[in-house]
Chains A and B, each alone.
Chain A
Amino acid sequence: MDLSFSFRMNDLKSTSLQQDKVYDFLAIGAGPAGLNAALYGKRKGLDVAVISKKKGGQIVDTSVVDNYLGIYGLTGEALAGKFLSHLTDLEVPVLENTEVVDYFSQGLLHNVVLSTGEIYQAKALLLATGSRPRLLSVPGESKFFGEGVSYCAICDGPLFKGGDVFVAGGGNSAVEAALDLAKLANSVTIVHRSEFRADKILVDKLVAHPKIKIFLQTKITEIVGEARMTGLLVENLKTGENQVLMGSGIFIEIGNIPNTAPFDKLLKLNERGEIITNTKKETNIPGIFAAGDVTDSLYKQIIISAGDGAIAALAINEYINQTEF
């Protein structure tokens, strides 16, 4: 029996931020980008706080992190725990279970309105709000959500023990999910509409696995079932042939959509909906910076997000020093 202990007494104590003061900078989001930015900002002597929906961000959903230099074999949650401890030791407040729902400026100062109604003010903002799972957008997907359709393989995988399941996607997350699921399921079928993008080391494991079947160049056109899902309707993109594959669950790992609301109205976004940033992680609005998966950074990786957060914090420090508020 493994025990993934990550609870800290601070989790029971509600962190509070002050509404009647001007922070130097507020990091929105508590994934690697937001947390590392807060760390760098604090060490520069800035008055910094973190506002977040979920401590740790998306890394909490990762079973094992094996590609962060110096860290391997640690669960995503344990790594997030290490990040958070570092900030707790430096007494950086981290607000949780809340979201920024609105924004307004007052001269050079930025105000964020939270879902709880509180308003906080800062000289600079760092948007590090990450991304959420992309939907397949096929018939049956929303109908069978929680009835076979899942977006969290590590959470829901054990419920499909001995079953026949699918994974949609061809990146690292999809391949890792398939390998994870194969430990419990009777069979795992990975369906992807083009070729694998995942690391070779992972694809090799996938191909060699006796329980895993691979359908490349295959498009999922519908998730079918009655009360629960019973299978997929797929189209072979090379031959145009359609067929039904039988299975009781599908884990959708086809990438992510950036969480840009409510800033999407103000900021310049690229065609994928990501916030456009320059090398200093500045957006088109002075004093608003962005880092991590919410931005147009090329590769979405924990270590890259953390690094981007550091760049943003240093640039924010420079911005605050050079600006008269």
Chain B
Amino acid sequence: MKMFTAELEDQLREVFQDLVDDVTIAYFGDGDCYTCSETESYMEEVEALNDKIHLKKYELKTDVAEAAKYNVTMAPSIVILDSKGEYRGIKFNGIPGGHEINSFIPALLEVSGAGNSLPKDVMDRIEAIDKPVNIKVFITLSCPHCPGAVHTAHKLALLNSNVEAEMIEAQTFDELSNRFNVSAVPKIVFNDDKELLGNQPIQQFLSTIEAM
């Protein structure tokens, strides 16, 4: 069954007019894992909407080299690659459905080179990040504030190669969510240690990283 209505397809086609370079969605499934078939067909529908969007499908257990390359350890997982096939630190663990389509679509656009730059003082602080930072953003699909936090984390990853940012759908990966004691979202965890709760401004993300 199709996920997109005709109306949504039209809206997305229009938004994708702003894609600059090609982008590739690398999708990792694992047999009939929870939401895997749904996520896979969702990605197929996205690919069909614009020639600049490409889809590569992998299996977590058999495509071991690719999974290791993009640091993928769960399924379904999606990483977004730029026109050179480079991983830019932007990952979605679990289906980016519900409200989270609003972080998935801008991720495609921004990896393709669309979008504006940030104010200079913020850019300077992002460029100054010189240690590896992993950002996990735990979300639920019914949370309207969550895409904002995911987008901010992804933006940091895009602008500094030391940063990797991943959305984690809390219900699909409930063991991981329990380990990080997630009972309110968005919960943002830096290097599995420092935490922020709620959709915080990019300055707050930076202050947390700078204090580590």
Contact = CB atoms under 8 A, between A and B. Distances in A.
A156 B183 contact: yes
Contacts of B97: 1-3
Given A1-B97, A2-B97, A8-B15, A150 B142 contact: no
Contacts of B144: 4, 60-61, 76-77, 154-155
B184 A4 contact: no
Nearest to A153: B142
B116 A12 contact: yes
Contacts of B110: 12
Contacts of A159: 140, 170-171, 177, 182-185
A7 B143 contact: no
B171 A161 contact: yes
A228 interface: yes
A149 B99 CA distance: 22
B7 to A, nearest CB: 9
Contact of A1 (B98, B102, B177): B98
A4 B101 contact: yes
A227 B183 CA distance: 12
A1 B187 contact: no
Contact of B105 (A7, A60, A158): A7
Contact of A12 (B4, B12, B114, B119): B114
Interface in A3-36: 3-9, 11-14
Contacts of A12: 18, 106, 109-110, 114-116
A147 B171 contact: no
A146 B184 CA distance: 5
A155 B3 contact: no
Interface in B19-55: 38, 42
Find the residue from A150, A158, A159 having the highest chain B CB count within 10 A: A159
Interface residues of B, number: 42
Given A1-B38, A60-B144, A155-B142, A147 B183 contact: yes
A115 to B, nearest CB: 9
A248 B146 CA distance: 22
A313 B99 CA distance: 32
Interface string A66-97: 00000000001100000000000000000001
A9 B17 CA distance: 10
Nearest to A4: B99
B28 to A, nearest CB: 19
Given A12-B115, A12-B116, A160 B183 contact: yes
7 contacts: A1-B98, A3-B98, A4-B99, A14-B116, A145-B197, A147-B181, A155-B146
